[in-house]
Amino acid sequence: MPIILSSILLFSFGALLLAHLSILKMRRYQNKLEQSEERLRLSLWGSGDELWDWNIAAGTLYRSSSWQHPVELKPQTNQFPPNRDSIHPRDLERVTEQLYQHLAGESPYYEAAYRMRASDGAYVWVLDRGKVVSNDQDGVATRMTGTLKNIQHLKQTEEKMELFARCLENISDAIVICDTNFIVLEVNHSFSAITGKTRDSVVRKPFDLSLYPSRFLQEIGSVLQAQGSWQGEIEDQRLNGERYQAELNFDVVRDDHGVVMQYVAVFSDITERKAREAELSRLANSDTLTGLPNRAVFSTDLTRMVELESKHALLVFDLDNFKKINDSLGHALGDSLLIKLADRLQQVTRQQDRLYRLGGDEFAILLENTNDIHTITTLAKELLKLINRPFFINQHELAVTSSIGIVLYPEDGKDPEALLRNADTAMYHAKNDGANRYLFFNDSMNKLAVKRLQLENLIRHGLKEDYFTVYYQPKMDILSGQLVGMEALVRFITPKRGLISPAAFIPVSEETGQIVEIGEVVLRKACRDVKRWIDQGLFHGRVAVNLSVKQFMLPYLCEQIDDVLQETELPSYHLELEITEGTVMQSPKLAIETMKKLRARGIHLAMDDFGTGYSSLAYLKQFPLNTLKIDKAFIDDMNTARGRNMVDTIVTIAHNLSLTVVAEGVEYEEQLQQLKQLRCEIIQGYYYSKPLSADDFNQFLLDQKANKPKLSAVPSKVS
């Protein structure tokens, strides 16, 4: 028994010991398992991953929910994938396909990146990874586990990097990334497009600016290290040898500690832009016709010369009677003449002198650093001689002359405006002195210029204050001595200066264009006076009103006359317009059209000063005229046989063209008798009366009515 009992006790103790040891082993295993699970949880927490376990057979999904910003992923049943409702619709098909492939054994594991709706309703990017861990006896997957990782920040970074990459690759500017030794690390597509060099041919090689020495990049590197950026315009060479211009910018790339790591070069091809800028500059600074520097450049250069305060000279000149060439032979030929002239002029200017075209046919030469009279006059003489040589253009031989005005700085002006104004004044006097000459500006010219400016201002004031009035000179029938008409003559009478001679104010008003307004004033007043005299029964003839060149060329001339006649209620057949030969010969075809329009209105037309201009019988027979006026110069010369024959010829021509002849400037009985013999119809001049004011002419009409009650009748309205 004792032995048996002892054996039993020993067995029991051994069993208990074994049980205890087993318990201890189980506890150690449990501790290790708990520690392993803890390590897994810590690992998942540290990585930001979530653990999920999908019981495929039961249709349930377990998730550890360890995210700080948890994704809404609730257990679902009978759905595939189990989180189907949370997947972005655009990603669902792709995720489903990848999951099917793994479950079907086509891929060793399942991995998909997609957008999943979070608890706040917004979608975030996740990386979903998993693997089948158990199958049934038929090999069908029954359980699958995996992890879910929030990669929203990674995806945003990736998208940003992709965006940057696309921008860099598609930007039109070339981009080169270099290290601090200018070794190329990367280039974009535009670099190859601009330079013709491939990426592989430049990467890991020194950045090459083939037209510049190596020290050029070294200097750029010094600036980059000191300032962080460099920019400038360069010229380089493409792979095919073609030159191009580029706008180059360098910037540094620093690390988190501010140390320079790389250089980024950005450049664009500006070859076409620079060409356009050069062309725009040329157009802005060059005369388009001759290629010479234009007025803008002249003004800049003249200002610069004045600021230098050293002695200079300015020559301003134009062609004499250039307008007649344009009008008679056409503007195209006139332009050709100016081009050939510009070529010639450049032959006589010194290298340090500058030639300009100021506009039209006006040119200028600036002589720098000289006031030597001999040098200046020698140049002026050479210019005149050069211009006088015939020009052969389109089978035309043209002989032209020029007038030159010369000023010296600082003697003739202290500023650019004064110098140019005085040079123009000198040129104007050279032209008036017979042209084809040069003149230096002097003080007397300046005084005349000042007087002219004062007269111009006085004319302007006179128009405003109604200082212009109309005088009338009778036109008498040469046989009966009866009044048949009168000529309206403008007079300028000011309160302080009294009567100003037409010879003084008319040329100035023609140059300034004020003659147009003066002419309208005369027309309106003459029509008003004549209408009053007709209504009083004192007059039944026509009033002749002179038209200046500028008036006649007005595009609205006929409409303006219509308005005056309507306003004054004067019948059109009581109006005669006097036009000079020079006026109609400016543009004969246009003149004929205008004259026809006036004749159609019942207005009579007279050619004034016939024989003193550029008479053309070919055109004269085409002009729809009523009257031809013989200039006073021919009447004064009738005391000679040649003069008498000239008047006889003019009268014969007029009669052959069915025109009435008026002789103006008749002062003596002998002239009257000679004109009777030559069958001239009407005379005008001091023999009968000088020009009279409206009041005096009214008395003249009363005297005519008292002495000769039967006045000449007006011819038909349109003869």
What is the pLDDT at residue 501?
92
- For residue 383, the domain's CATH number is 3.30.70.270
Closest CA to 490 of 190, 693, 700, 274: 693
Q: Count the neighbouring beta carbons within 10 Å of the beta carbon of residue 361.
A: 21
What is the pLDDT at residue 305?
85
Q: Which two tokens mark 38?
A: 């803890």
What is the pLDDT at residue 436?
92
Same domain for 667 and 568: yes
Q: What is the reported pTM?
A: 0.50
What residues contact 507, with CB distance under 8 A and at least 6 apart?
Answer: none
What is the pLDDT at residue 70?
40
Closest CA to 242 of 264, 271, 215: 271
Same domain for 407 and 482: no
What residues contact 481, with CB distance under 8 A and at least 6 apart?
Answer: 708
Quickly count helices (H) and strands (E) in the chain: 24, 26
Amino acid at site 487: E
Closest CA to 128 of 156, 77, 94: 94
Same domain for 701 and 576: yes
End-to-end CA distance of the chain: 180
> Which of residues 213, 245, 274 is at a domain's end?
274
Distances (CA, A) of 18 to 6, 23, 25, 80: 18, 8, 10, 50
Same domain for 605 and 461: yes
Residues β-bridged to residue 52: 63, 146
Q: Which two tokens mark 581?
A: 């030969």
- For residue 109, the domain's CATH number is 3.30.450.20
> Which of residues 219, 246, 274 is at a domain's end?
274
Same domain for 349 and 251: no
Q: Would you say 305 and 407 are in contact if contact means Cβ atoms under 8 Å apart?
A: no
Distance CA 361, CA 384 (A): 15
Same domain for 591 and 558: yes
Same domain for 463 and 435: no
Quick check: is 263 in a domain? Answer: yes
Distance CA 47, CA 696 (A): 120
Same domain for 429 and 346: yes
Distances (CA, A) of 348 to 45, 177, 180, 520, 592: 94, 57, 58, 48, 44
H or E stretch covering 99: helix 89-103
What is the pLDDT at residue 715?
40
Same domain for 612 and 499: yes
What is the pLDDT at residue 8?
58
Quick check: is 14 in a domain? Answer: no
Residues β-bridged to residue 270: none
Q: Would you say 401 and 366 are in contact if contact means Cβ atoms under 8 Å apart?
A: no
Rounded to the nearest 10 degrees, the angle between the axes of helix 443-465 and helix 502-512 is 90
Quick check: is 198 in a domain? Answer: yes
Supply φ then ψ for residue 354, to 5 degrees.
-125, 135
Strand 604-610 and strand 184-187: the pairing is unpaired
Low-confidence residues of the chain: pLDDT under 70? 1-48, 65-79, 165, 167, 444-446, 448-449, 611-618, 708-719
Q: Which two tokens mark 617?
A: 């019988």
What is the pLDDT at residue 718?
34
Q: Count the neighbouring beta carbons within 10 Å of the beta carbon of residue 374.
A: 8
Distance CA 665, CA 636 (A): 8
Q: Would you say 318 and 360 are in contact if contact means Cβ atoms under 8 Å apart?
A: yes
User: What range defines the domain where residue 541 resides?
Assistant: 454-707
> Which of residues 156, 187, 213 is at a domain's end?
156
Quick check: is 24 in a domain? Answer: no
Q: Count the neighbouring beta carbons within 10 Å of the beta carbon of residue 289.
A: 13
Quick check: is 717 in a domain? Answer: no
Q: Which two tokens mark 473?
A: 């000179």
Quick check: is 678 in a domain? Answer: yes
Same domain for 479 and 614: yes
Distance CA 548, CA 520 (A): 11
Same domain for 307 and 411: yes
What is the pLDDT at residue 150?
87
Q: Would you say 112 and 92 are in contact if contact means Cβ atoms under 8 Å apart?
A: no
Q: Would you say 115 and 87 are in contact if contact means Cβ atoms under 8 Å apart?
A: yes
What is the pLDDT at residue 69?
42
State the Cα torsion 553-558-559-565 to the nearest 10°.
130
Q: Would you say 74 and 62 are in contact if contact means Cβ atoms under 8 Å apart?
A: no
Quick check: is 404 in a domain? Answer: yes
Q: Which two tokens mark 679?
A: 């069958």
The domain tally of the chain equals 4
Distance CA 315, CA 558 (A): 43
Quick check: is 367 in a domain? Answer: yes
What is the pLDDT at residue 138?
83
* 278: Cα within 13 Å, side-chain hemisphere: 7
Distance CA 626, CA 352 (A): 60
Cis peptide leading into residue 416 (ω within 30°): no
Radius of gyration of the chain (CA): 53
Strand 575-580 and strand 542-546: the pairing is parallel
Cis peptide leading into residue 81 (ω within 30°): yes
Q: Which two tokens mark 27?
A: 């506890």
- For residue 463, the domain's CATH number is 3.20.20.450
Same domain for 435 and 383: yes
Distance CA 177, CA 253 (A): 10
